[in-house]
Structures are given as structure tokens and as C-alpha cells.
Amino acid sequence: MTAAAIAPRPDWTREEIAALFELPLPDLMLRALKVREAKWPEGRIQKSQLLSIKTGGCPEDCGYCSQSAHFKTGLAASKLMEVDAVLAEARQAKANGADRFCMGAAWRSLKDRDLPKVCEMISAVKAEGLETCVTLGMLEEGQAEKLKDAGLDYYNHNLDTSREYYGKVTSTRTYEDRIETLDRARKAGVSLCCGGILGMGESRADRVGLIHELSMITPHPESVTINALVPIAGTPLGKSEPITAVELARAIAVARIVMPASWVRLSAGRENMTEEGQALCLAAGANSIFVGARLLTTANPEANEDEQLLDTLGLEWGPRSDKPVVNA
């Protein structure tokens, strides 16, 4: 595969992406592996850790979320954590081998009154030598710049699904609202962490649509999260049919091919997957996983299980040692 063939492209069509999804799985995996070999030759798996810094009580009605105030899920709401408590969690994450620390707050949007405290958290975590990421809902003008000045590396704001299926997931925030927040983060010089959730009742065409939307962000998001829905009792999507590991691996392989220079993160849902299913997703091109006991409010595999998984696969932990120009 030539260098030109794996250069990031902003002009992928839905038809091209759909054709990738329809390839026989071995052929699709082979193409994804060639991209990984060319763009990520060290083959390391990055450890990220995610902490809920403000839990529950969110006014949004996202049908998958335990933190929505619209649904009775038994989750107790909490206030924004103190900086010292967040820093203690970050230090523990680093001690456990994570080099990326993500902080999430259950807000519709970041309020100016909370911005100084969040910035303090970012600066404190950054000072520990960790890569920083936050997910705080929608951003208003000028907020992304302040987050960047505090030391923020990535802003996470997922598209969730295709434009066509989006209305079946949430009604309190538009697709364009999400795009606007991503634009504000990018203009401030913050890298983007953006992806979606699979297994919410969407069709394969919707998965094609999601990856197509991500591919049209120029340059591509530096980090692409692929989540498998963790069904939460009490939410509208709590009884969704789970996505298979093979279909999840297909989506990861397509994401790896379409966005060759981006991190592809196997995110939520690993707790419900077999070791073989996770191995298939890593072989398909995922090169980062989230570690730690919980992902915001849902369970995650134990540290010893993750160590065993990578040992079984013969893979190493760690970010890539080189620091290439993003999406070069």
C-alpha cells in the first residue's frame, strides 16, 4: 500500500465507506492492518483513564445515558469534584500506567462560573505529565481558548450516530450544535476526540453515516472513539439488541482505514465483551483502550484482565514514541 493510498482524505463518499463495510472480514482486516503497519508501526496500545468529575442531573435526554435527569436509573447526582480529589485520581491513573486522563461532567454546556475550576483541574493534571481531555457538553464562544490556555490537549464531543438516526437518540441538542462545539475547540487549537456509540438500534447504513460525518471534519479528529452501547435499565435504549463483536470490529477497521492518522479508541462496552471479541477489535485497528474500574458510570474490565489481554496478544502498552505532525 503506497503512502498516497493511506494519506488522510477529506473526500470520502458514503458509497466508498459502505463498500468497505461490505468487504469480506479477512479482506477488510488486511486493509486495516496495512494502514496500522504504515502509520502506527510500533503497534502500542495507549492507556486512557476517564473520571466523572460531575455526575448525574443532566438536562439532556440522550436515550443511552444513565446521567439524564429525564430517566429513573437510580443514579444519584453529585456536585463538581474538588481539584485535589481529581488530582489524586489522576496521580493514581498515572501510577497504573495511564498517560492520558479524561474528565467528564454531566452538563448540557460548560458554564462560565465552572470554567476557572475546570481549568485548574486541567492545569494540575497536565503538570503531572499526563495528556489531558475533557468532555463538558457544548462550548460557548471564548471557552475553548481558556481551556487551551490551561493546558487542554483534547476536547471530547461525540456525534453519537448518523444525522439520519440522531433524532431517535436525543431531542435536546441538534447535530449542528455538536458540530459547532467541535469547530470552537478546533479553532482554539485543541485536538478533537470524537466518535459514536454502536448498538443503539441503528442500521449499518447509520454506522456508515457516522464514519462519513467524522471523515468530513477537516483535518480528521485526532482521536476517534468507538463505543458499544452499555444498556442502562430505565433509559429508552436500555433494551437495545447488543452489537456483535464482529460488527464492532468492522466499524473499527473502517475507521482505521478512513482516518489512518487518528487514534481509534475501543471505548465503552468492553466489560460485556469476551477476550476474543476485544482481541478482534484491537487486531482491526483500535490502538487505545480506557482502563480503570469505571467509565463515567458504567463498569470496565479490571486492570489484571487488561494486562492479561495484552500479554495474550503480545502487545505493549504506551503511546507512540514519535510525535508526528497531526494527520500528516
Burial class (CB in 10 A: 0-12, 13-18, 19+), 145: middle
CATH architecture designation of domain 9-312: Alpha-Beta Barrel (3.20)
Ordered by start, the domain boundaries in the chain are 9-312
Residue 36 in contact with residue 256, Cβ under 8 Å? yes
- Tens of pLDDT, residue by residue over 136-148, are 999 999 999 999 9
- Measured CA angle at 177 (ends 326, 161), to 5 deg: 70
- Tens of pLDDT, residue by residue over 147-161, are 999 999 999 999 999
Ranges 27-31, 185-189, 323-327: which has the least confidence: 323-327
Catalytic status, residue 102: yes
Does 207 have pLDDT greater than 80? yes
The one catalytic residue in 119, 173, 186, 193 is: 193
In angstroms and rounded to an integer, the radius of gyration of the C-alpha atoms of the chain is: 18
The whole-number pLDDT of residue 326 equals 40
The one catalytic residue in 31, 36, 119, 133 is: 133
Residue 86 in contact with residue 124, Cβ under 8 Å? yes
pLDDT bin (cut points 50, 70, 90) of residue 84 is: very high
- Tens of pLDDT, residue by residue over 224-277, are 999 999 888 888 888 888 999 999 999 999 999 999 999 999 988 888 889 999
- Tens of pLDDT, residue by residue over 19-59, are 999 999 999 999 999 999 999 988 889 988 889 999 877 78
Catalytic status, residue 133: yes
The one catalytic residue in 31, 58, 178, 186 is: 58
Write out the DSSP string of 44-107: -BEEEEEEEEE-S-B----TT-TTBTTS---PPP-PPPPHHHHHHHHHHHHHTT--EEEEEE--
- Mean pLDDT to the nearest integer, 76-85: 88
Catalytic status, residue 281: no
The one catalytic residue in 31, 102, 119, 256 is: 102
User: Residues near 119 by Cβ (< 8 Å), separated by ≥ 6?
Assistant: 146, 147, 149, 150
